[in-house]
Amino acid sequence: MGMQNERHVFDDLDRQQIALLRAEGRAPVSVLATALGVMRSTVQARLERLLNSGALLGFTVRVRGDHAVSTIRAVMMIEVVGKLASQVIRRLRGLSELHRLHTTNGKWDLVAELRTDSLEAFDSVRREVRMTDGVSNSETSLFLALV
């Protein structure tokens, strides 16, 4: 049983280790230890503590943009007619090309991340979002290069 409810306090070594994991989530413990200038057992113990506390949720693989399964990615800012927000959110969640959907503040009500495998599919889903009852305005930007 982990310490999921306890708040983890990060020290400099924790922050350095997390930064390395963000850059290379699959780095072996020995590589992390060398980069941090500590023993492997220290890295392993801290990883376990970070995972058990819930401060670190897991590890991931970062894929280069030109190797991604979905080649077309975009962010779409969406303005919604107030009374229809719940209906719009339900409709948009049903779109398989919609990877993430966030509520936000300011001029736009929703921010969606779209992923498709072609420009034709992208144009189709963009049109579908814009034609959704309750969507009053939108602005879309394609992700071009990861920098």
The per-residue pLDDT for 28 is: 84
Q: Which residues pair with 114 in a beta bridge?
A: 74, 98
The per-residue pLDDT for 5 is: 46
Asked if residues 59 and 21 have their Cβ atoms less than 8 Å apart, the reply is: yes
Whole-number Å distance between alpha carbons of 66 and 74: 15
For strands 98-103 and 110-116, give the pairing.
antiparallel
Whole-number Å distance between alpha carbons of 24 and 108: 34
The identity of residue 90, as a single letter, is R
The per-residue pLDDT for 70 is: 47
Tokens of 55: 């401060």
Helix spans in the chain (H): 12-23, 29-36, 40-53, 85-93, 119-130
Tokens of 77: 């800012």
Tokens of 73: 């990615």
> What's the whole-model pTM score?
0.54
Tokens of 100: 């993430």
Q: Which residues pair with 142 in a beta bridge?
A: 74
Best-predicted range by mean pLDDT among 7-11, 28-32, 70-74, 123-127?
123-127
The per-residue pLDDT for 59 is: 65
The domains found in the chain, sorted by start residue, are 1-62 (1.10.10.10), 65-142 (3.30.70.920)
pLDDT tens digits, 63-101: 555 545 547 899 999 999 988 999 999 899 888 888 889
Helix (H) or strand (E) holding 145: none
The per-residue pLDDT for 118 is: 86
